[in-house]
Amino acid sequence: MTKTPEVAPPILAETSPDRPVNCEVALESAFAALVATSIGQGWTPEETAETLHKLAMEHLEQLKAITA
């Protein structure tokens, strides 16, 4: 079984303007592993990217609905 890459915790305060970049760096290896696994299972890179984008956008909409 493949070990899921760890996601590092934030190193910047929530108010830091660089926090989104900090999050991006923390998620990069886990994201790359997910993409590689998807492609390795037979999904095309395009299908993988489009689906991850769709899931991320749906998740964001759910979060916005909760805080509205």
The model's pTM: 0.85
**pLDDT tens digits for range 22-31:** 999 999 999 9
| Continuous H helices in the chain | 19-40, 45-67
- Give the up-direction half-sphere exposure of residue 45: CA atoms within 13 A in the CB hemisphere: 1
pLDDT digits (tens, 9 = 90+) for 13-66: 999 999 999 999 999 999 999 999 999 999 999 999 999 999 999 999 999 999
Distance CA 46, CA 9 (A): 30
CB distance 39 to 45 below 8 Å: yes
